[in-house]
Chain A
Amino acid sequence: MVNPLDTYGYLRIFEYISGYGLGGSSVALFCRVGGGIYTKAADVGADLTGKNVLGYDEDSPDNPATIADNVGDNVGDIAGMGSDLFGSLAESTCAALVVSGTSDELCKDACFLFPLVFSAAGILVCLITSFFATNIMSVKERKNIEKTLYFQLVISTIILTPTIVALVFLTLPENFSFRGIDVNSTRIKVMICALSGLYSGLIIGWFTDYFTSNIHAPTQGLAQACKQGAAINVIQGLALGYLSTIVPIICISITVFLSFRLAGMYGIAIGALGMLSNIATGLAIDGYGPISDNAGGISEMSEFPKAVRDNTDALDAAGNTTAAIGKGLAIGSACLVSIALFGAFTTRTGVI
């Protein structure tokens, strides 16, 4: 029999619950790795046999590998990405819960539920945001598609900012400390952690958009390099890929440093949750990519007029860029989550 007021009881519950995060991430491992490898293998295989050997068009109905390619898009980019972000979300929430289990003040009035309330508020904000894409900023021309999708991320971040401030003042106690660690946190400090995570997510998204969108300099430069041959293309593409990791790494480092200085390991977990708070919008613009890609494949296979294929191709081009934004968010948040989980471990064992 555990006394309900005993905070060690809550710590025990949260330790059991952290198995939920482990389950989420082990499913993510299979879906992400298996699905990801299948989709790339099917894509390359379809192109090799269809385009190079037999000389068919992309997504030609004569080529049986097209079906494998389209299935691979669904498996890899929707199921894989979804389970990956599911694992990140579950793990960061569990890490925040385990760390908050070591605080007497947070366990007193059920303030440990702040991570759950935070994610729930994120869902509501993303619901409001999705109306902007479907009803208000509707797509009239082709060049607007990418802007509409990217502004989804911006709008949800802007609406989430006052929401986080209100939530922190409504749910968290004024001061709280953690057992065994010399960190005194206030709710203002936690608010700054959440906001830094949220805005570094936005910056990572913007930077990914800059490097992958076809209206900006890096992609156009790569297209120019393609004129000189395949080797230059490979080398410059690899260089661009390495270059594009600079800003996300700086963003994540700043978030980790700031959060750890302000609120210890709890701050890092809240920073990861802040990056994942508008994840519903991130998943929406991410899942949009393979859906429009496969719509193009279906229109080609069912022999619709050329204009249909042109429209779905325009949707698909924007979808590739936004899928890259989702990948950037997923990997950035996974980086923060791993540190938060390590923090939960060290808090529990009392290593630091």
Chain B
Amino acid sequence: MYVATRANVRVTYMAAVNLKNGTSLQSAFVVAFRGGCVMGFCLVSLALIVLTFIIIVYKRILFYI
């Protein structure tokens, strides 16, 4: 959500700054999509990393005490 709120402003900025040279739509789209990508990849990677970490820790605790 932190990234999303900042991406909001950047999309508007890209749409406004590139208005003269005609790439307003494209650049705004790319920035908005990258904002979405950050959220998606962060979430899935965090889920996997935490799960892997928990499995390693529990395996240590249960098997080697």
Contact A307 B19 (CB under 8 A): yes
On whether the beta carbons of B40 and A280 are closer than 8 Å, the reply is yes
Find the B residue at minimum CB distance from A290: B4
CB distance from B1 to the nearest CB of A (A): 5
Question: What 0/1 readout, one digit per residue, does chain A (315-328) give for beta carbons within 8 Å of chain B?
Answer: 10001000000000
The reply to whether B5 and A295 form a contact with Cβ atoms under 8 Å apart is no
Does A298 lie within 8 Å of B40, measured CB to CB? no
Residues on B with beta carbons closer than 8 Å to the beta carbon of A90? 47, 51
Cβ–Cβ contact B12 & A145, under 8 A: no
Grouping DSSP codes into helix (H, G, I), strand (E, B) and loop, the B interface class, with mixed when no group exceeds half, is helix
A130 at the interface (CB under 8 A from B): yes
Known A283-B43, A291-B11, A299-B15; judge A9-B30 contact (CB<8 A): no
Whether B63 and A291, one on each chain, are in contact in the complex, defined by CB atoms closer than 8 angstroms, is no
A312→B28 contact, CB < 8 A = yes
Interface residues in B18-65 by Cβ distance below 8 A to A read: 19, 24-26, 28-30, 32-37, 39-41, 43-48, 50-52, 54-55, 58-59, 62-63, 65
| CB pair B7 A291 closer than 8 Å | yes
Complex: A146 Cα to B29 Cα, angstroms: 11
- Which residues of chain B come closer than 8 Å to A1, judged between CB atoms? 65
Interface of A with B (CB < 8 Å)? 1-2, 4, 9, 12-13, 16-17, 20, 24, 70, 74-75, 78-79, 82, 85-86, 89-90, 93-94, 116, 119-120, 122-123, 126-127, 130, 133-134, 138-142, 145, 148-149, 279-288, 290-292, 294-299, 302, 304-305, 307-308, 311-312, 314-315, 319
Chain B contacts to A: CB under 8 angstroms: 1, 4-5, 7-9, 11-12, 15-16, 19, 24-26, 28-30, 32-37, 39-41, 43-48, 50-52, 54-55, 58-59, 62-63, 65
If A280-B40, A298-B9, A315-B29 are given as contacts, then 8 extra A-B residue pairs at C-beta distance below 8 Å, sorted by A number, are: A1-B65, A2-B63, A13-B59, A74-B5, A93-B47, A126-B40, A138-B26, A308-B19
